[in-house]
Amino acid sequence: MKKFLTKILLVLPLTILSIQVAKSQEVEARIENFRIRLNGGSKYTQTPTVLLEIMASGEPREMRISNHEDFKDNSSWIPFKGNVGQWSFSNGEGEKTIYVQLKDKFGNITPVMKESVIVDRTPPSNPSIKIIAEKGFVNNPNKEVTLELSADDAKYMMISNSRGFIKARWQAFRNSTKWNLEGNADGMREVYVKFMDEAKNETQVISAQILVDSEPPLDVKVLINAGQKVTNDKNGKASLTLFARGASHMKVSTDTTFAGVDWIPYATSMEWKLSQQGKNVVYAKFKDQSNNESKIASNEITWDSTPPEDCSITINDGAKYTEDIDRNVNLKLKAKGAIFMMISNNADFTNAGWIPYKENYRWQLTPGNGEKKVYVRFKDENGNETDVFVGTINQAI
């Protein structure tokens, strides 16, 4: 009897253990650190086929995988392996989720673990680039501009001065950034850009152009009265001729600082009022649409509208009568600054002409006795003419 009881006691614990193992198939598995990784942990993918990795400790023996949380596709248990390889979701874009369960060697089953990835094959939309520069031109030495950029859902951007994006790198997307144009010569420049989202979908390349203009207007020139040296216009009116290749605006002044003078639209001619008798200098400078300013051009003219001064005529030293049978008299003439004179016996200077100025001149009166008048006018080297001066004598022959 004692031996029998001993056998019962030995068998009973084994029976209890067997029951516990059977029941353990319905409780949480003894598997730890259970994780799923899709496409190396990327949040996005461009295709519905991804790389699937399953990681767990605790000796998982089997697994089942499904695209359905309830495993309604009757996914079967298969031997566990960490690197599953490629796994395919249903077609179409959007969030895709995978569901995985593991079973250990005792038949313990884990809760359902899931992981998601977004299938995105659509690149950023509405891409645009705009080059910002005053009046649409660039004339700064560094050729620096501001780029305004936009693209819906863009995460990255790549910018280049060449279509081939040589040495260009992806950078974080920004709506605005500074950019330096390349090249030394003036002319059109083009900036290229493309955008990329988190799924690495790239847009087509787009570009924008801008004109680099750092060269000021050339061949600048200003002439007063077509280059005349002197003018005797009584009102000091003059005509300016201007030229500057590539100019859009100009300033004209009598002062090299152009103080208080505004830019006006470029023109090849304009009327001008001289400021003073004597030497007058006119200065002009020009700029183009990019605000490049030219060197200063200048021209000078002498304004002399003052006729000879201190003018007079005296006949025969002021005698009242003459009895010369040939009607000849001596004229004493005076005119400060004169180089020409015109003398006549007629007030309208009929048939008279300009002759060199002389202070003493022999003159013949008209026939007949009585009061005789001699008319004279003077002119300087700049063509300024005096009024008429008159000398009187009585002829008695």
Over the stretch 41-97, which tens digit does the pLDDT of each residue have? Answer: 999 999 999 999 999 998 899 999 999 999 988 889 999 999 999 999 999 999 999
- Same structural domain for residues 67 and 84? yes
Counting the structural domains of the chain, the total is 4
Span 288-297, average pLDDT: 93
Question: Nearest 5°: phi and psi at 22?
Answer: -60, -45
Assigned domain for 20 exists: no
Predicted pLDDT of residue 364: 97
Task: Indicate whether 115 and 35 sit together in one domain.
Answer: yes
Question: What's the CA dihedral at 146, 152, 157, 160 to 10 degrees?
Answer: -50
Examine the domain organization and report whether 33 and 112 are in the same domain. Answer: yes
Facing residues of 218 across strands? Answer: 245
Single-letter amino acid code for the residue at 172: A
Residues 358 and 288 in one domain: no
Residues 360 and 315 in one domain: yes
Report if residue 68 sits inside a domain: yes
Last residue of a domain, one of 303, 319, 337: 303
Domain boundary (270, 303, 336) is at 303
Last residue of a domain, one of 71, 102, 119: 119
Q: Percentage of the chain surpassing pLDDT 90?
A: 84
pLDDT of the residue at 276? 95
Category of 135 on φ-ψ map: left (φ > 0), alpha (ψ -120 to 50) or beta: left
For residue 18, is it within any domain?
no
CA distances to 133, 223, 243, 247, 287 from 217, in Å: 20, 17, 9, 5, 6
Mean pLDDT of 353-363: 97
112 and 55 share one domain: yes
385 DSSP β-pair partners: 379
Q: Which residue segment(s) compose the domain that 225 sits in?
A: 218-303
Q: Give the confidence band of 324 by pLDDT, cuts at 50, 70, 90.
A: very high
**Residue range 243-253, pLDDT digits in tens:** 999 999 999 99
pLDDT value at residue 17: 29
Q: Distance between CA 46 and CA 200 in Å, rounded? A: 8
Query: Confidence class of residue 143 from pLDDT cuts 50, 70 and 90?
Result: confident
Please report, as a single letter, which amino acid is at residue 210.
I
- Residue 329 inside a domain? The answer is yes
Please state whether beta strands 83-88 and 32-38 pair in parallel, antiparallel, or not at all (unpaired): unpaired
166 belongs to a structural domain: yes
pLDDT tens digits for range 145-190: 999 999 999 999 999 999 999 999 999 999 999 999 988 888 899 9
Mean pLDDT for 321-338 is: 96
Residue 15 resides in a domain: no
pLDDT exceeds cutoff 90 at 1: no
Q: Are residues 319 and 390 in the same domain?
A: yes
Q: What is the pTM of this model?
A: 0.57
Residues 192 and 252 both lie in one domain: no
Same domain, 330 and 265: no
Q: How confident is the model at residue 19 (pLDDT cuts 50, 70, 90)?
A: very low
- Distances in whole angstroms, Cα of residue 200 to Cα of each of 123, 162, 322: 8, 22, 120
CA-CA distance, 309 to 315, in Å (whole number)? 19
The CATH number of whichever domain residue 74 belongs to comes to: 2.60.40.10
Could you tell me if 109 and 97 are in contact, meaning their C-beta atoms sit under 8 angstroms apart? no
Task: Please check whether residue 7 lies inside any domain of the structure.
Answer: no
> Do 354 and 372 share a domain, yes or no?
yes
7 has a pLDDT exceeding 50: no
The verdict on 176 and 110 lying in the same domain is no
Residue 164 lies in a domain: yes
Q: What is the mean pLDDT of residues 303-325?
A: 96
Is residue 262 domain-shared with residue 238, that is, in the same domain?
yes
pLDDT of 213: 87
For the chain, the average pLDDT equals: 90
Instruction: Give the model's confidence band at 133: pLDDT under 50 very low, under 70 low, under 90 confident, else very high.
Output: confident
